[in-house]
Amino acid sequence: MATTKQIWMMAAAAMVLGMRAAWAGDLQTAQPSAAKAPAATAANREIVVSVEDRKLALVENGQVVKVYSVAVGKASTPSPVGTFSIKRRVANPTYHHDGKTIPPGPGNPVGTRWMGLSIKGYGIHGTNEPKSIGRAASHGCIRMAKADLEELYPLVEVGDTVEIVGQRDEETARLFGTGLTPAGAAQIELAAKSAAPAVTAAAKDAAVAAEARVPATQRSAEAAAAAIVTGAL
């Protein structure tokens, strides 16, 4: 049976342990909590295709990351216009169509990458006809050159928005530059060529008039100097 002295010693020990536990709790509460790192904000990513410009832009948070030349649908099989999304991403796809199966390789019509859209049967892909890039030549899909396609592929994800614009508007003018349609640019070039003969004729007339105002003695000296230089060559 414990003596009175032992009982007091056990009580004192319990009191000390309790105080230590309380101090530890106070210290833990007083420690500043580590600041939580802000969650990374996902980029607002979008692919914009201008059928009229035959260009594709990768846009993140409203800023153009890269612009690529592409082939779009020809008149008989136009590219679909509207807002879609990427549904599938396939590297080195096998091509199936009309009972034909073409394995990955140089002869594959969709190239080395396929980004299928939310509209069935259409996608962004490569081509085994690189000369078609920049033209209205596809069956409605968006074709890209191999190097461009393989650069774009890892930069986009399933779920990203794809906007295909049929006619040039303010958005495509901002993304792709000059604001001129290919037809408009061609018209300006044609007008410049048509004006060239008139400009040349006017320049010749001005030169003749300027020559008439030069004193005869100066013209003779200039002619002699020209003859010497010509002979030296």
Instruction: Work out the average pLDDT over 70-90.
Output: 97
Cα 30 to Cα 11: distance, rounded to the nearest angstrom: 29
What span, in angstroms and rounded, lies between the C-alpha atoms of 172 and 191?
25
Q: Any idea which residues carry the catalytic annotation?
A: 125, 141
* pLDDT tens digits, one per residue of 94-152: 998 888 999 999 999 999 999 999 999 999 999 999 999 999 999 999 999 999 999 99
> What is the number of residues in the chain?
233
Cα distances (angstroms) measured from residue 110 to each of 48, 137, 177: 20, 14, 29
Backbone angles phi, psi at 222, to 5 degrees: -65, -40
Cα–Cα distance between 232 and 226 in angstroms, integer?
Answer: 10
Contacts of 68 (CB under 8 A, 6+ apart): 55, 56, 57, 58, 144, 145, 148, 152
Nearest to 158 by CA among 93, 90, 85, 92: 85
Considering the chain, what is the average pLDDT of its residues? 76
Highest mean pLDDT among 35-44, 125-134, 223-232: 125-134
Distance CA 159, CA 151 (A): 18
What pLDDT is stored for residue 184 in this prediction? 52
Residue 127: what pLDDT? 96
Of all residues in the chain, the percent with pLDDT exceeding 90 is 52
DSSP 3: -
